[in-house]
Structure 1
Amino acid sequence: MTDTHERRSLSRPIVAGVVTALVGVTSSFAVVLTGLDAVGADRAEAASGLLVLCLTMGVASIVLAWRYRMPITVAWSTPGAAVLAATGAVEGGWPAAVGAFLVTAALILLTALWPQLGRLIARIPPSIAQAMLAGVLLPLCLAPVGGLVANPWGVVPVIVTWLVFMRLAPRWAVPLAFVAASVVVGVHVAVTGAAIDPALLVPRLAFTAPTLTFGAVAGLALPLFLVTMASQNVPGVAIMRSFGFEVPWRPAMLVTGIGTALGAPAGGHAINLAAISAALAAAPDAEPDPHRRWVAGVSTGGAAIVLGGLSAALVALVVVAPEAVIPAVAGIALFGAFGSAVQQAIDDPGERMPAVVTFLVAASGVAIAGVSAAFWALVAGLVVREVLHAGRRPH
């Protein structure tokens, strides 16, 4: 009887972990693939990036949850993938992008080992950091709107599915929009007779020798690091704290930094503490007994590793998809992040004008001297803020 009760008590957090991984992967994989493609990854390299991200975030979740007996979950950096998509090709191409991923990993590790770096990041006003993220996300969030014009028969079912389930089951709205997109792709393949080589569906890692260029480091690595910290790691700690769990900061940054470094040569841009999806494993719904919720973290990691086996199939789905369908899914997946970023950017009236300038520069997509708009947006916002606040006493 005791064994039966034990199995039943463990089944709940295990299921919660599987759900956490499913929601996390299916709701944002299109954003990751869009970002990797934008910075120069070919089909095999994008599939490799998706695979290695699943593997590293899965192992990191298992290690942290098991070691600290907390439902700590690790995810890929969805805002970071949006930065890749907004940045586009960098000086030096895909090898330079991989080099930027390694620099990002080094900065995450440095944050763990050198507390002063964390304090320096904390000095960047949240309004400016969030305005930069909102500007980066805007073009991606507009994709569903453009898709309605370019391919209404393909995009309308995706949007309608998302809207219906935002009303009925918000947690599943984006994953089910992806299911609707998959049905659209299936119909398209049946009608057009498009074929996929089965050999291309086997997941495999593709390694790239990294190179370093100024444009990639300044225009890609720094914005990627900043949005990963400001939009994932810091909120992730806060969300866990709201459920009574104090995430060990230094070990978490060490594990995610090492995971990012190991995954970078295979195309993984960054892993970090889960933020929004963290609640799925850490909330009482996952397991009433907080001392048992760590099982959900381990389960999330195991499920993520298994889902990595679908990486090549997901890339193949994107390749055969009709026009505008996958970008529409990616845009819908970012609606929540965009809304949150805009709200935080303009929440403080005293910081609103620097935030507006930051947002507009980031949304412009204009690169100067080979450095992306995301970097210049931060510079512009900080300069405007300094000019407007010069000589004023802090309240």
Structure 2
Amino acid sequence: MADRLQPVLAGIVTALVGFASSFTVVLAGLRAVGADDAQAASGLLAVCVAAGACAVWLGLRHRLPMAIAWSTPGAALLVATGPVPGGWPAAVGAFLVAGVLIVAAGLIPALSRAVGAIPAPVAAAMLAGVLLPLCTAPVRALVEVPRLAGPVVLVWLLLHRFARRWAVPGALAVAAVAIALTSPGPGPGGLHLAPAVAFTRPTWTVAAVVGLALPLFLVTMAAQNVPGMAVLAGYGYRAPLGSALRVTGLATALGAPAGGHAVNLAAITAALAAGPDAHPDPDRRWIASVTAGIGLALLGLGAGAATALVLLSPPILVEAVAGLALLAALAGAVSAAVAAPETREAAVVTFVVTAAGISLLGIGGAFWGLVAGWAMVLLFRRRPTSGGPGPTGTAPDRSVSPGPAPGAPAEEPGPAAPARAG
């Protein structure tokens, strides 16, 4: 009996950790690009249901633990981008375009290769620049609301040391208690706590497509789908990337009118469903990912209550919890960005331009950071000489070949078992 329950319990833990650790990032991102409270709650519900449906379908279809999540780096990108020309309808249109691009990447191998051709340090630096503003929020919160932020950060530190996977959920629980004790009155009256979908007719502007849809597609591919595949490979699974991209891209496009920004392969939480803790038998671990999908969809029914909690708290406190959730991703992105000496300056330029948060021609900083970094790579690229190092004594530049995925998960996968095809 315990043997049968083990993957189910692992799936429940995966869903709880995945939801509690970053739903504040999703709500902050949706509100940053123009969603009102009801639309933000609808968007959170949409990505929960879309991710859950994808996890159930892929798990049953391929009998592999293909955990699915919303794009947390993508939500951080929304925070960094801010309002787009055309407002919330244009943001919804950008979400739909990003979903179509993910589907196209699953149908057209050349498009996947084009994404892989982006220099890995540049992609990692773009992600780091996107994450930096949110990751500084805990420091600002300690200065602005020390009585609320202090216990949150302290609990995060203690749990990060002794029970790492529960660090962010624990910090969120402490924040919720602090909010309940200090809230001056009842909850916001204009928000329905029951599940509600708010549909928005999408519109399209060049600035939103170039400045939001394209970076959202790139960061979702580079910081979620690629590391997600790496985690599965680390546990010996040869997962069908094309199928995952088609299913998650279609779910993203369908969820966009309801406010969902993007769903994709899980990265960090993927290890909870694919590792030996889910089940000793690797062929039984898909049950954990399917259970996690069902659990995430059910947790989405509480999107209204989650949004109400966010509205009751000081904005900086919510951002602080989100920043704590993203620190590991920032560390991984910075490490990947500066690892290669030959592309280090290009990565730093990408990071600085992206983190500056500039908006030029209505297009956000993530796009311009990517452009600036790639231009630096091409401008200072050394031509390799045949049969040896270049004229300066350095090895031939391989900066444009796909490298380790930026923002790779902190967990270290175990030794790879023989590959299991999907």
| TM-score for the superposition, normalised by structure 2 | 0.90
Which residue, 346, 351, 365 being the options, matches 2:338? 346
Q: What pairs up with 1:1-395 in 2 under 5 angstroms?
A: 7-189=1-183, 192-197=184-189, 200-389=192-381, 391=383, 393=385, 394-395=396-397
% identical equivalent positions: 53
Is this contact kept in 2: 1:155–1:324, CA < 8 A? no
2-structure distance, mates of 1:163, 1:328: 13
Q: What displacement does 1:256 show?
A: 0.2
**SS at structure 2 position matched to 1:200:** coil
2-structure distance, mates of 1:211, 1:309: 27
Q: What displacement does 1:196 show?
A: 3.9
Is this contact kept in 1: 2:65–2:274, CA < 8 A? yes
Q: Which has the higher helix share?
A: 1
1-structure distance, mates of 2:230, 2:191: 44
How well do the aligned residues superpose, as a CA RMSD in angstroms?
1.1
Q: What displacement does 1:390 show?
A: 5.1
Is this contact kept in 2: 1:108–1:225, CA < 8 A? yes
Is this contact kept in 1: 2:76–2:130, CA < 8 A? yes
Is this contact kept in 1: 2:126–2:366, CA < 8 A? yes
Q: What displacement does 1:193 show?
A: 2.4
2-structure distance, mates of 1:217, 1:229: 16
Q: What displacement does 1:66 show?
A: 0.8
Q: What displacement does 1:291 show?
A: 1.1
Task: Tell me: CA distance 1:167–1:22, structure 2 relative to 1, closer, same or farther (3 Å).
Answer: same
| TM-score for the superposition, normalised by structure 1 | 0.96
Is this contact kept in 2: 1:188–1:322, CA < 8 A? no
Task: Tell me: CA distance 1:237–1:178, structure 2 relative to 1, closer, same or farther (3 Å).
Answer: same
1:365 partner amino acid:
G
Task: Tell me: CA distance 1:12–1:313, structure 2 relative to 1, closer, same or farther (3 Å).
Answer: same
1:62 partner amino acid:
V
Is this contact kept in 2: 1:107–1:225, CA < 8 A? yes
Is this contact kept in 2: 1:10–1:295, CA < 8 A? no
Unaligned runs of 5+ in 1: 1-6
Q: Deviations over 1:336-367 (max 9, x none)?
A: 00000000000001110000000000000001
Q: What displacement does 1:195 show?
A: 3.5
